[in-house]
Amino acid sequence: MEITNQEFKHCDLIAVKGRVDSATAPQFAKALETANNNARFKIVLDMNDLEYMSSAGFRALLAAQRNCKRYNRGEVVLARVPVRIREALELAGFTELFKTFDDPVTAVGNF
């Protein structure tokens, strides 16, 4: 798994690549927490190169969404969610908790 963070004026664009499972989810969670610790609560998560995510990753997503939405200070939105991951998120009932966008530019513009 690999994570890159690009700061825009109104939001952070975080790209997560590779596989998020119980082994790598702590690192994924930490990247989201780091953004929050820097007072960045508007986050676009670009999943274009994400191959796999288990419930360990979903757990990190949920924690981040809770933290970002607190005090209406922001939210996590998802961009370019691969079809298999979208299906798993749907099964877990997660799709209604996150806005999703087909491209990261529109997602960034949403903030």
Partner 1 sequence: MPAYTFPASFEFLDEIRELVAEIARSGGFSEKAIYSLQLASDEAASNIIEHAYEGVSNAFLYMTCDMKGEEIVITMRDTGTPFDFSSVKEPNLTSDLSDRQIGGLGVYLMRKLMDKVNYETTRTGNLLTMTKRRE
Binding site for partner 1 (CB under 8 A): 19, 21-23, 52, 54-56, 58-59, 62, 65-66, 69, 84, 87-88, 91-93, 96-97
Quote the least distance from Cβ 111 to partner 1, whole Å: 18
In the bound state with partner 1, the residue whose beta carbon lies nearer, of 9 and 83, is 83
Shortest separation between residue 96's beta carbon and partner 1, angstroms: 8
Q: Report in angstroms how near the CB of residue 97 gets to partner 1 at its nearest.
A: 6
For residue 4, which of 37, 31, 22, 36 has the smallest C-alpha distance?
A: 31
Phi then psi dihedrals of residue 27, to 5 deg:
-70, -40
Residue 54 DSSP symbol: -
Q: Which is nearer to partner 1, 5 or 56 (CB)?
A: 56
In sequence order, which ranges of 11-54 are alpha helices (DSSP H)?
25-37
Beta-strand ranges (E) seen in the chain are 2-7, 12-20, 42-46, 50-53, 75-79, 100-101
Which residue number, 39 or 96, has a Cβ lying nearer to partner 1? 96
